[in-house]
Amino acid sequence: MTLIARELRGLIDEAIREAVSRGEIAASEVPDFVLERPRHKAHGDWATNAAMVLAGASGRKPREVAEVLARLIEKSACPPAGSVLRAVEVAGPGFINLALERDRVLSELVRVAREGDAYGRWDLGAGMRINVEFVSANPVGPLHVGHGRWAALGDALCNLLEAVGFEVDREFYLNDFGTQMEIFAASVEARYLELAGRPCEFPPDGYQGSYVMDIAREIMEEDEGRLADAPPQLRRAELGERAYGIALSHIRKSMDAFGVHFDIWFSERELQGSGAVREAVAGLLARGLAYERDGAVWMATSRFGDDKDRVLVRSNGAPTYFAADIAYHLNKMERGYDRLINIWGADHHGYVRRMQAAMEANGHADRLEVILGQLVNLKRGGEPVRMSKRTGEMVTFDELLEEVGRDAARYLFLTRSQDTALDFDIQLAVEQSLENPVYYVQYAHARICSILRYGEGRGVELSQEIPGLDTLRLLEAEEEWDLAIKLFEFEELVRDAALGRAPHRLTRYLEELAAAFHVFYNRHRVISDDAALTSARLFLCRCVLQVLRNGLSLLGVSAPERM
RNA sequence: GCGCCUGUAGCUCAAUUGGAUAGAGCAGCGGACUUCUAAUCCGCAGGUUGGAGGUUCGAGUCCUCCCAGGCGUGCCA
């Protein structure tokens, strides 16, 4: 892969070495410098701060150093000796601005077309396996809107990690064991008996949501109320199982409808049944990392940076959620992953430190990465939508998906960094769907498809052949140049978004690319009487189409051919 | 009290991880379809980046202290 940025880096690198060996700059080694696309067009196509970084070390003025480097770069990269750059300039406090030679841009464009679906992919994984655990909702009711955000985030992140060459598994952890399952069973049982007309008291800490009644009704319709007469213990256990099955199938269905597919559904119950939780605790005890006090077993997490020690086994003998989680993470490591990524709701952040402590204690320091997703504030027409877990009143993820659609939901969830709480206005997402960024991007895609269809109808040559350099050189308008250069940002963006765990950068980029296309479209006619120019512009359009498609597919958003 | 996250245009958010003149979209105003999709484009207006110091060639970004909001701080999950 002849990545343009890598080539430019090489040029700068070489210039620095040359300058050092000539004694024009003093530097023991080539420092880290930034090569970036400048914000302003006037600053060239790419720019570097190399001279300013070097100036500090060599005690010379940044602009002087820049001047030295610029002349060296120019000599090797500009005609007649080279063919990469058109101009090299020193500007501002000591930036070196690089303007690309036109043919170099065109050859890069050709690469976009040649690589096609693979354009933007990297091979950075080196066989590394990553497990990404996300959503992991308790199977005791419908998914809420926040789960939708994390599903979109997790899936897009996985796509990105795969794109840059990691082997990724998507995992859903099912907390199908313990207190909440019991509360859930008791809640369903109470509703079931209520439906059967039996006197019963709803558990004080039970789940209030109306979905509990729906589930009870579903079971009752199936078994015609037989369980009402079963022995209480058996009845509750049976109802709990049936209810769990129903809740889980709803979750699977939601994720399916959202287009998120998990490789692994990991059951806590199985983990508990296998004895792994007891083993994990025993292991910690044996190594003196856990101890008994007040009838409970504690882990010395404070030795690993936690504020205080945490209970693993309660004095009543029941292991805590934490103990199970330790066993679960050990299990993941045993499955051979090099790295674990967990996406948790921000309300779990108090839990991160102790989990990291546990990983470190078990010899897996720095293997676990926790991404905290901030919550979603649901609004409707500017007014916050009241949601209460206590009364069970809430807009479920399914309802949201139904109302705004899969593409819009996925895209909007990914427009913001996960560090920031997301305001999601349902009314805005639906009513103003025409102003929606997702449609803006998709529209660019559909528009290009429309151009291609039009061309086809007019008998324009639409072969997948890549036009020759002479033809491509006709792309000389400013908007064409801007568009082409914008395309080349994609590769590095994919890498940065993947390594920086920042899928939202991709939505941003796609909007910029779409904007560059719309500007081009409004100023220039693609299909005209000029056959050569038509051919060149169609080729540019096909490249844009390709990158839009690659980008949207990483987000899990469709690329429609008509809108 | 302590810890984490956040604070940027009227609103919702970006800002290439320390770079040049802080940018988009909504909302507002004014323009552009006899044309390959006007779900688009062009222009105008909008800012003491919560506040005060500090670090350096350079700070929205880093460090300290305040202010405001959210979350956490359980032998809950």
Domain boundaries, chain A: 4-100, 179-256, 436-555
Given a cut of 50, is residue A1 above it in pLDDT?
Answer: no
pLDDT in tens, A200-212: 889 988 888 889 9
Q: Which residues contact A84 (CB under 8 A, 6 or more apart)?
A: A7, A8, A11, A77, A78, A100, A101, A104
**First-to-last CA distance in chain A?**
35
| Nearest alpha-carbon partner for A198 in A245, A232, A233 | A232
Estimate in Å the CA A51 to C1' B46 gap, whole number: 37
> For A43-134, where are the E strands, in sequence order?
46-48, 85-91, 95-100, 129-133
Q: Does the domain formed by A436-555 have CATH 1.10.730.10? A: yes
Confidence category of residue A57, pLDDT binned at 50, 70, 90: low
Residue nearest to nucleotide B2 (CA to C1'): A307
Average pLDDT over residues A258-274: 96
| Alpha-helix runs per DSSP H in A22-95 | 50-58, 62-77
Nucleotide lying nearest to A519, CA to C1' measure: B41
Please, what is the angle between helix A276-286 and helix A321-334, to 10°? 90
pLDDT score recorded for residue A388: 57
Estimate in Å the CA A553 to C1' B22 gap, whole number: 31
The answer to whether the C-beta of A458 is closer than 7 A to strand B is no
Q: Quote the distance between the C-alpha of residue A185 and its chain's center.
A: 35
Per-residue HEC secondary structure of A470-501 comes to HHHCCCCCHHHHHHHHHHHHHHHHHHHHHHCC
Q: What is the mean pLDDT of chain A?
A: 90
> Model ipTM?
0.93
pLDDT in tens, A511-555: 999 999 999 999 999 999 999 999 999 999 999 999 999 999 999
- Read off the amino acid at residue A204: P
> For A229-381, where are the E strands, in sequence order?
264-267, 290-293, 296-299, 310-313, 339-345, 368-373, 376-380
Nucleotide lying nearest to A446, CA to C1' measure: B37
d(CA A312, CA A306): 14
CA angle A563, A395, A212 (to 5 degrees): 130
Estimate in Å the CA A357 to C1' B19 gap, whole number: 38
* DSSP 8-state class, residue A300: -
* DSSP 8-state class, residue A346: G
The answer to whether the C-beta of A38 is closer than 7 A to strand B is yes
More confident residue, A462 or A43: A43
What strand order describes the sheet that includes A296-299? A290-293, A296-299, A310-313
The answer to whether the C-beta of A320 is closer than 7 A to strand B is yes
Given a cut of 60, is residue A508 above it in pLDDT?
Answer: yes
A4-100 CATH:
3.30.1360.70
CB < 8 Å & 24+ apart, contacts of A510-513: A510/A441, A510/A548, A510/A551, A510/A552, A510/A555, A511/A437, A511/A440, A511/A441, A512/A486, A513/A441, A513/A444, A513/A486, A513/A487, A513/A544, A513/A547, A513/A548, A513/A551
Strand B proximal residues, A:43-72, Cβ < 7 Å: 43-44, 47, 49, 52-53, 55-56, 62
The answer to whether the C-beta of A350 is closer than 7 A to strand B is yes
Residue nearest to nucleotide B11 (CA to C1'): A382
Given a cut of 60, is residue A280 above it in pLDDT?
Answer: yes
d(CA A503, CA A493): 10
Average pLDDT over residues A99-122: 93
Residue nearest to nucleotide B71 (CA to C1'): A347
| Nearest alpha-carbon partner for A342 in A136, A55, A143, A502 | A136
Nucleotide lying nearest to A138, CA to C1' measure: B77
**Helix (H) or strand (E) run with residue A167 in it:** strand A167-174
| Nearest alpha-carbon partner for A401 in A430, A374, A381 | A430
